[in-house]
Amino acid sequence: MNSGNSNRAIFLDRDGVINRAIICDNKPYPPKGLDDLEILPRVLEGLDRLKLAGFLLIVVTNQPDVARGTAALEDIEAINQRLAETLPIDLFQVCYHGNDDECFCRKPKPGLILQAAIALSIDLSESYMVGDRWRDIEAGQAAGCRTIFIDYSYNEKRPASYDFRVASFTEAVSIILG
């Protein structure tokens, strides 16, 4: 893409990156509803700084509990709506499929990122994927983005590689704005 006519974006996982994940047995889970929703400290400030630097801010999130029947679509949409009202997010891309659906949009596949890139003329080589799980990082790599892994030491598979490893979203913002 011609960088003169294209946008740069920060692709953000939702749970664990912009809002607190619910941790059980050192594994992250999404909030069930608005009562469980807590935006992580300094996220608004970091997003404002990225926005000022000219980045589009796009949430890319797997929400398979809808397909599994353990979460209501309305609750997921209410959480995204609250985040949209509170944070300067340009777009929410959500995959509601489960592991067995073999869809192109479920991370670690890059579909959510690629769909946004086409719709918003995003230069993926000038963009970042920020996530706290291996699926986020692999999706970002498959799409051609630089990747930032927020390492919370979850008890689960880790990404095989990443461009940067950080302890917080604030640290990720500092790297991006360098």
Question: Which residues form the catalytic set?
Answer: 13, 15
C-alpha 62/C-alpha 126 separation (Å) is 23
Local structure of residue 156 (DSSP, 8 states): S
C-alpha 123/C-alpha 7 separation (Å) is 6
Expressed in percent and rounded to 5, the helix, strand and coil fractions of the chain are: 40, 25, 40
Give me the helix-helix angle, 43-52 and 169-177, nearest 10°: 20
Closest to 83 in 3D by CA, of 12, 139, 146, 147: 12
